[in-house]
Amino acid sequence: MKILMIGSGGREHALIKKLLESPKCTKLYCAPGNGGISRDAEVVNIGVMDKENMVKFAKDNEIDLAFVAPDDPLADGMVDAFQNAGIRAFGPNANAAIIEASKVFSKNLMKKYNIPTAKYEVFDNAKKAIEYVKIHNTTPVVVKADGLALGKGVIIAQTVDEAVNAIKSIMEDKKFGASGNNIVIEEFLTGPEVSVLTFTDGKCVKPMVSSKDHKRAFDNDEGLNTGGMGTVSPNPYYTDEIADVCMETIFKPTINAMNREGRPFKGCLYFGLMLTPNGPKVIEYNARFGDPEAQVVLPRLKTDLVDICEAVIDERLSDIDIEWYDGAAACVVMASGGYPVSYKKGIEIFGLDDNGQVENSIVYHAGTKYEDGKFYTSGGRVLGVTAKAPTLDEALSAAYSAVDKIRFDGAHFRHDIGKTK
Ligand code: AMP
Ligand code: GLY
């Protein structure tokens, strides 16, 4: 099979490494890819939002399976465009990807179908929103831009003043553009966070092994929210009992709700959960694999990913068993100094070879460029240094040993992955 991966980050590199394990995969392309991906797949210079050229490339090259990994092209109907051209594609249609692309949609869905989530109000007007937080006067309070905002559209305001500033910057200054035309203001929840990625064909839902992301930029969960600074799998807080509760109260009801709304979801549905004292609640849905969750979940996948993608597309997911390796995996993201605010690019990276240098480690490339036999930084999150081992402690120690071998000026990473709630 000829497969086309759409995307350019560490998640896509992890997907590519897994697809390469499949005997069915004879040719792999990635558009636009990155430096590390160019060592594993043929990279094609087409932007992730360029539906027309993406479809043309797929037709010209007789692609058998297109895999749309990032949120923006999913929300924009990239899967629909492939399907309309007769090309099989993995990922939700735009009308289902809205579960991530609009927080107003997802919150209203959860309310309508009694899926546990934080209490909330929706506003399309800054004045009313400000009035609400002032009258309510409960802090911390969470302010969320409705639309996609590179994982940065959520502000946890510790004071009413902070909430007012967040509302103004989202709704008046349009910090996230049209994504901030509407906002959600919601109750602050507490408890360990869990990411559960699932495969679903719209009928049945099969959870992958659990994981835990570390979203803040610095150790001890300090600093700004980022796209994710590291992950571990399994998530130590996610017991089998909690998994059963989530299946009955969250996963199945969400799949059913999307069907009832005429928006069947096919692809990878990501549940961002918080294990609150009142039970598991949904913090967010993503219509795709998480990044860097994919980097710890996929190395643990035993079943052929191509078979799973085909079963999802053909709506026969219930027929296949999905198997996982026991043990654990850890991923430490090496980022550019200054990320997530501003950072330099084009800095040479030393100490990389294609396979990682520590046993059982694997280096997924996120923001890298490959030129004349050398790797350079080209983004905020640069590498996802990952290791698999029988226990989480061993996986973490192998991942950090692998990090120690890699150098670039300004490199920044967290030292406490797997250690905080
Ligand atoms: P999101 O982009 O919706 O995942 O939000 C980013 C992060 O903000 C989450 O991973 C949580 O750590 C935090 N967060 C979002 N909503 C809430 C909430 N209602 N209560 C507490 N923390 C939250
Ligand atoms: N790591 C969080 C996300 O992919 O949204």
Q: Which CATH number does the domain housing residue 219 bear?
A: 3.30.470.20
Per the document, the length of the chain is 421
Token couple for 418 = 């797997």
Token couple for 2 = 């000829």
Residues 226 and 313 in one domain: yes
Question: Based on the number of CB atoms within 10 Å of its own CB, is 167 exposed (0-12), middle (13-18) or buried (19 or more)?
Answer: buried
Residues 164 and 260 in one domain: no
User: What pLDDT does 356 receive?
Assistant: 58
- Cβ–ligand 1 distance for 155 under 6 Å, the answer no
Token couple for 26 = 């004879």
Query: What average pLDDT does range 169-198 have in this prediction?
Result: 96
User: Can you tell me the distance from the alpha carbon of 4 to that of 41, in angstroms, rounded to the nearest whole number?
Assistant: 9
**Is position 101 within any domain?**
no
User: What pLDDT does 353 receive?
Assistant: 73
Distance from residue 138's CA to the centre of ligand 1 (Å): 17
Encode pLDDT of 49-81 as tens digits.
999 999 999 999 999 999 999 999 999 999 999
Q: Which domain holds residue 381?
A: 328-403
Quick one: which ligand is closest to 155's CA?
1
Residues 314 and 198 in one domain: yes
Residues 218 and 266 in one domain: yes
Query: What average pLDDT does range 243-259 have in this prediction?
Result: 98
Encode pLDDT of 369-389 as tens digits.
999 999 999 999 999 999 999
Among 66, 91, 116, identify where a domain stops. 91
**Average pLDDT over all residues of the chain:** 96
pTM recorded for the entire structure: 0.96
pLDDT at 421 over 90: no
Quick one: which ligand is closest to 274's CA?
1
Query: What average pLDDT does range 123-148 have in this prediction?
Result: 95
User: Can you tell me the distance from the alpha carbon of 376 to that of 260, in angstroms, rounded to the nearest whole number?
Assistant: 48
Which of 106, 150, 195 to mutate to test ligand 2, by most ligand atoms within 8 A of the CB atom? 195
Residues 222 and 274 in one domain: yes
User: What pLDDT does 359 receive?
Assistant: 82
Report how many domains make up the chain.
4
pLDDT at 187 over 90: yes
**Is position 30 within any domain?**
yes
Q: Beta strand 65-68 with 374-377: parallel, antiparallel or unpaired?
A: unpaired
Residue nearest to atom 3 of ligand 2 (CA): 290
Encode pLDDT of 109-133 as tens digits.
999 999 999 999 999 999 999 999 9
Atom of ligand 1 nearest to the CA of 188: 20
User: What pLDDT does 354 receive?
Assistant: 53
Distance from residue 357's CA to the centre of ligand 1 (Å): 35
Residues 246 and 295 in one domain: yes
Residues 288 and 231 in one domain: yes
CATH of the domain at 34: 3.40.50.20
Distance from residue 117's CA to the centre of ligand 1 (Å): 11
Quick one: which ligand is closest to 296's CA?
2
Atom of ligand 2 nearest to the CA of 293: 1
Residue nearest to atom 8 of ligand 1 (CA): 154
**Is position 100 within any domain?**
no
Q: Is the peptide bond before 234 cis (omega within 30 degrees of 0)?
A: yes
Confidence class of residue 325 from pLDDT cuts 50, 70 and 90?
very high
- Please check whether residue 217 is in contact with residue 229, taking contact to mean a CB–CB distance below 8 angstroms: yes
Residues with C-beta less than 6 Å from any ligand 2 atom: 151, 213, 228, 286, 290-291, 293
User: Can you tell me the distance from the alpha carbon of 377 to that of 403, in angstroms, rounded to the nearest whole number?
Assistant: 15
Query: What average pLDDT does range 275-296 have in this prediction?
Result: 98
Integer angstrom CA distances of residue 43 from 24, 27, 37, 305, 331 = 20, 11, 7, 20, 24
User: What pLDDT does 150 receive?
Assistant: 78
Place of tokens 């509302």: 167
CATH of the domain at 348: 3.90.600.10
Atom of ligand 1 nearest to the CA of 144: 3
- Cβ–ligand 1 distance for 154 under 6 Å, the answer yes
User: Can you tell me the distance from the alpha carbon of 290 to that of 194, in angstroms, rounded to the nearest whole number?
Assistant: 12
Query: What average pLDDT does range 154-166 have in this prediction?
Result: 95
Residue nearest to atom 2 of ligand 2 (CA): 290
Which of 156, 188, 197 to mutate to test ligand 1, by most ligand atoms within 8 A of the CB atom? 156
